[in-house]
Structure formats: structure tokens, C-alpha cells
Chains A and B, each alone.
Chain A
């Protein structure tokens, strides 16, 4: 399968979603990210893979400034991330994030989880926010759960709600940090299905995941990280079938058996 075999997913030639140049980050003395350089065009679906502790989460959390980088530049949607809180808020409004452990707000109903940020951050009227929320709940196929609390839903349902919650802010870019790793096996597919659909609709996505089937089906690029560096990136076909780096080969042999 080549890029042309995924005709539905268009990648912009000119519009840049995320651009990272010479970026580095430290936790104390520990150099967790080293010399990161890449560019993501609008409409791209990037899968980031790599062994545990290689810095994948840290990298995507830098993109919405949940973590601060100490060197280099991160430009998201044309806005450079600096200490300027206004800029940070602006970026966060355009970037949705889905976490491994869902992080839904347990004291609010599903509907309230979905409408909270649109109402308080985007200042959208409540009725309109609820309409949008219902639309996305239907898209993730759980409209009937709107009045329940997160604690009453299964893991797979909670993760789909978390995706819907991000979508309600109408983001330009979606970040996923191992969205299926905390799920029971039978629930993984329902979440991946939602993500595939999202990709088909043209969302710019950066996904940290070990779901290699998903990567083959959806990604247009796979990045491989090790020890805080991106050591290989390629289109999924070549990445899986023809890995270049020794570490990549080892990693793939471990996860694909």
C-alpha cells in the first residue's frame, strides 16, 4: 500500500501543522529529548513508536505545552510556544489530547464533560455546545450514555468519550498518548475504529501507539524513537517491511513476534 492507495486522506502540500526544530528537553540533569527535528503538514497522520521510556509521551506533551522544552523551537499552527501564557492557551484551544487513562472528569456527567470547555473556554452558548456534544457522541457511537457518569462506563466507552470531548473543541490537531494501552483487548477495536474514522475525515493526528495494524492502515509516516531521539522515520510499508536501524529491527521483532 502506498500513499496513493489512501486517497481519502489528503495531506496539505503547503500548510504546516507542527514544526519542531533543534528541540531538546531535560528533567533536571537527565536529557530526555535530544535534537528533535520534524515537520507535520496539515492532514498528516503520524504514528510514534519506540520502547518504553524513550520519550514519546514527553515529546507529544511538549506540543501542547504540558511539558516545557528548554531548547529549540516548537511552532504549532503558526504559533511559537514560549512562556507567553496567551500563546499557550491559543495553542491548547487548537490542539486536542487523548490520554492513556482517559482523564475524564469523574464528578461531571458525560454531557458536562463534553460541554465544559466549549462553554467556558470557547464561550459557546450551552444549548449549542450540547448539540455539538450530541453530534460527537453519536460519532463515537454512545449517544445513549450522555447523562451517565464516567465511573459507570467501560474503559472503551470512556476513551471514546475522551476523544469526543477533545473533538468538541473543534481542534485542528489531535494528540494521542497510547490511547488503547489501558484497555481490555476486546475494547481496543472500538477505540481504534473511532480513530480511523477521524483520520479519514482529514484530522491531523500524532499518535503514540503500539497498534501496528492501525499504523499500517492509517499512518502516512511512522517515527521511531529511542533514548530521546527520533532514530528512524518512514512510510509504514517501508518502516515495517524494511527497517533500517538495528534498534528498529529489534523493536519490531519484539512487538511483532
Chain B
């Protein structure tokens, strides 16, 4: 541009315009509704249909669980009325059985204490503001399982009455299986994932075979094998606890899935991260534990939680080997003659569904919270 041209420019902005707020129609409730629900004719119809479906479902649940529900009674007969909804007295009557199974009622304080310790440790671990993560982590991962075992099982030096694992049941058993499965499978899964990416052919092959073997078999088969076939292979006389066998099966099964999820995370780490770690002189163990795993695990939180939720629900399969988890307890209750009424099974399963949902939904929300918290603004 020449000098004269610059001089002949008719309009030059003297001051920079300040940022203006966005027009009101794009923000706030109205703006949100407009862009998300009523942006076009088709969209309006979809919104209407969706609202109708939500309304119908909600009113169905409401009628069943509240409006038509039976709140008082002592046996099935009380719930055998026309158009009855949920039979809540059944849940109240059987509540202890659902939570503790056949655990002797005078010993309920023991599982209660375990629940309490577990809850305190979990809160200490899960709340970022509470310090001492190392200590609570060690307590939860190593001390808590031992304490749990001696409290629940008793016998030996504890001076507590022995309660064999056949008597454990209900939600208590579900939590024992799920927590053990989730917690114990995690380190194993990480090791398997690292092993599968190892440079050493032998390590790699062992891990591949292990992972593919366990992933290729349904959990129900694993449990069945663990409880029925394993004793056949073991020398006569070795008596492995039924619960322990199920726990081992569940743990190994979950570890295989965890391994594949973690491997996905490991593969997503750019080569440059390994090179930077190498160039700084970090050895394999340090580079892996300080640089690679923290990033890879953060990436796979959704996958891990998804696995854990799946496992939590799959614990119901332990009933196939004669263990009474929450669902098993609910099911067993519905067949007793005192509580024979058409709505009793539905009520039981409704209750079990709610309990399962509360646990899994909590896991899911917490993982979303963690993902946000761990986000350091780095997007590859």
C-alpha cells in the first residue's frame, strides 16, 4: 500500500470496541431451551415424544412404588389385594436377610463394623481435601482386607465365634466379592498390560495367553469351573473354601479385562513421553510408574469404572455356585410360603435393582468427577 492510499482511507477505527455480552436469546434458560429442545419443527416433535415417554414411565414407577404400594402387613396375604403395587412389608421383614444372608443375627455388629471401617477409608481415599492418601491407601488395600477377614470369619486368636463363609450372604457378600474383585484385579491387570507390551518375548507370550484365555470364557463358566472342576484337579483332601474359589475366579477374570483397558491407555501415550523419560535417565520402572502409568491410567478411568460396574453386577452370578449374594437372597425369599403374593418377587427385584443402581451410579459419578479433577488442560 502506498503513502497516498493510506492517507485517502476514509474510515479508521480510533478506539478498539469493548467486548459485548452475547445476545440474550443465546444464553439463559430460554436460550438453552430454544437451542436444545425447540430449534426446529422436527426437534419440537422429538421433544414432545420424549417428554411423553418420560412422563409415562415416571408415573408407572410412582404408582407401583408409592401410590398403590402396600406399606403395612406381616405376611403375603396382606399384599394379595387387587391392583396392589409394591409389597414393602416384605422388604422390611426380610431386610436383615438381604443384607447379611444367614449370618447369625447376634453377630451383625461384625459386618456393620466392617461396613463402617470400609466407608470411612473410602471417604478418606476419595475426598481430595483429606490428607494422608498414602496411609489411607495402604490401610484400605492391605490392612482392611485382613481385618475384614478376621472380623467376619472370626475363630482363631480373635476370640470371636466362627462364622463359616457358607453363612455369609446378601449385600455383605456382594460387597465382599465386588470389592475384592475390583481391588485385587487392578494391580494384576496393570502388570498384565505392561507385560503384554514388554520387549521380552516370553513375558509377552505368557501375558497374551493369560489375557486371551480368561477373556474368551464367560464369567459363569469361570465360576463353575472354579467351584466344580478345580477340586477335581487338586489333590484329594485339599479343601478350598467355596468363597475363596469364587473370589480367585472373579479376580483373574476381571484382571484380564482390566489389562486390555489399560493397554489401550498405554498405547495412547505418545512415543515422545518414553523418549523424554529415557533421555532424562529414568529407568524402566521409574519411567513407567512416574510418567507412563499416571497418564495412561487417567485416560482409562472410564473404561476401568465401566469394568467395575460390570463386575459389580456380575457378582450376582456367584449364586450359580451356591453363594447367596443380594440377588440370591432376594430370590430365595420370594419362594417362601409366608410371603407368597404376586407382587412380592417384583418388589424384591425392584429393591435389588435400586440397591445395585445406587452403588453403580455412585461409581459412575465419582469417576466423572475424578476425570474432571485430573484434567490438566492437555489435549492430544
Q: Do A and B come from one complex?
A: yes
Asked, given contacts A103-B273, A105-B291, A120-B286, whether A92 binds B280 with beta carbons under 8 Å apart, the answer is yes
Docked Cα-Cα span, A80 to B378, in Å, equals 38
Which residues of chain B are within 8 angstroms of A120 by Cβ–Cβ distance? 282, 286, 290
A152 touches B377 (CB 8 A): yes
7 examples of A-B residue contacts, CB within 8 angstroms: A85-B283, A89-B283, A92-B279, A99-B275, A103-B272, A116-B280, A152-B376
B280 touches A121 (CB 8 A): yes
Which residues of chain B are within 8 angstroms of A89 by Cβ–Cβ distance? 281, 283
Residue of B nearest to A118 (CB): B280
**Nearest-Cβ distance from residue B262 to partner chain A, whole angstroms:** 16
Q: B interface, how many residues as a size bin? A: 20 to 34
Q: Report if A104 contacts B (CB, 8 A).
A: yes
Which residues of chain A are within 8 angstroms of B164 by Cβ–Cβ distance? none
Q: Per-position contact with B for A65-84: 1 when CB-CB < 8 Å, else 0?
A: 01000000000000000000
Which residues of chain A are within 8 angstroms of B319 by Cβ–Cβ distance? none
**Which of A's residues lie within 8 Å of B, judged by CB?**
64, 66, 85, 89, 92-93, 95-97, 99, 101, 103-107, 116-117, 120-121, 149-152, 165-166, 169
B379 touches A117 (CB 8 A): no
Which residues of chain A are within 8 angstroms of B310 by Cβ–Cβ distance? none
Q: Which residues of B187-230 are within 8 A (CB) of A? A: none
Q: Report if B278 contacts A (CB, 8 A).
A: yes
| Of B278, B281, B294, the contact of A107 (CB 8 Å cutoff) | B294
| Nearest 9 Cβ contacts at the A-B interface | A151-B378, A106-B378, A151-B377, A103-B276, A103-B272, A117-B280, A149-B376, A92-B281, A97-B279
Which residues of chain A are within 8 angstroms of B242 by Cβ–Cβ distance? none
A165 touches B272 (CB 8 A): no
**Nearest-Cβ distance from residue A23 to partner chain B, whole angstroms:** 19
**Nearest-Cβ distance from residue A215 to partner chain B, whole angstroms:** 23
**Nearest-Cβ distance from residue B40 to partner chain A, whole angstroms:** 37
Residue of B nearest to A162 (CB): B276
Q: Per-position contact with A for B364-378: 1 when CB-CB < 8 Å, else 0?
A: 000000000010111
B281 touches A105 (CB 8 A): no
B295 touches A107 (CB 8 A): yes
Known A117-B281, A149-B376, A166-B280; further 16 A-B contacts with Cβ < 8 A:
A64-B278, A64-B279, A85-B283, A89-B281, A92-B279, A95-B279, A99-B276, A103-B275, A105-B291, A105-B295, A106-B376, A107-B295, A151-B378, A152-B377, A166-B279, A169-B281
Which residues of chain B are within 8 angstroms of A66 by Cβ–Cβ distance? 275, 278-279
**Nearest-Cβ distance from residue A167 to partner chain B, whole angstroms:** 12
Which residues of chain A are within 8 angstroms of B290 by Cβ–Cβ distance? 116, 120
**Nearest-Cβ distance from residue B275 to partner chain A, whole angstroms:** 6
Asked, given contacts A99-B272, A107-B295, A121-B286, whether A150 binds B279 with beta carbons under 8 Å apart, the answer is no
Q: Per-position contact with A for B8-19: 1 when CB-CB < 8 Å, else 0?
A: 000000000000
Which residues of chain A are within 8 angstroms of B278 by Cβ–Cβ distance? 64, 66, 92
Which residues of chain B are within 8 angstroms of A151 by Cβ–Cβ distance? 376-379
Residue of B nearest to A85 (CB): B283
| Of A101, A106, A150, A169, the contact of B280 (CB 8 Å cutoff) | A169
Q: Which residues of B252-291 are within 8 A (CB) of A? A: 270, 272-273, 275-276, 278-283, 286, 290-291
Which residues of chain A are within 8 angstroms of B378 by Cβ–Cβ distance? 106-107, 149-151
Q: Per-position contact with A for B337-369: 1 when CB-CB < 8 Å, else 0?
A: 000000000000000000000000000000000
Which residues of chain B are within 8 angstroms of A121 by Cβ–Cβ distance? 280-282, 286
Q: Which residues of B21-44 are within 8 A (CB) of A? A: none
Q: Report if B298 contacts A (CB, 8 A).
A: yes
| Of A104, A117, A152, the contact of B282 (CB 8 Å cutoff) | A117
**Nearest-Cβ distance from residue B301 to partner chain A, whole angstroms:** 13
**Nearest-Cβ distance from residue A80 to partner chain B, whole angstroms:** 17
Q: Which residues of B283-335 are within 8 A (CB) of A? A: 283, 286, 290-291, 294-295, 298
Residue of A nearest to B294 (CB): A107
**Nearest-Cβ distance from residue B23 to partner chain A, whole angstroms:** 31
Asked, given contacts A66-B278, A106-B376, A151-B377, whether A101 binds B298 with beta carbons under 8 Å apart, the answer is no
A107 touches B376 (CB 8 A): yes
Residue of B nearest to A116 (CB): B290
Docked Cα-Cα span, A61 to B294, in Å, equals 26
Docked Cα-Cα span, A96 to B379, in Å, equals 26
Docked Cα-Cα span, A152 to B290, in Å, equals 21
**Nearest-Cβ distance from residue A177 to partner chain B, whole angstroms:** 10
Interface centre among B276, B278, B280 (most CB of A within 10 A): B280
**Nearest-Cβ distance from residue A101 to partner chain B, whole angstroms:** 6
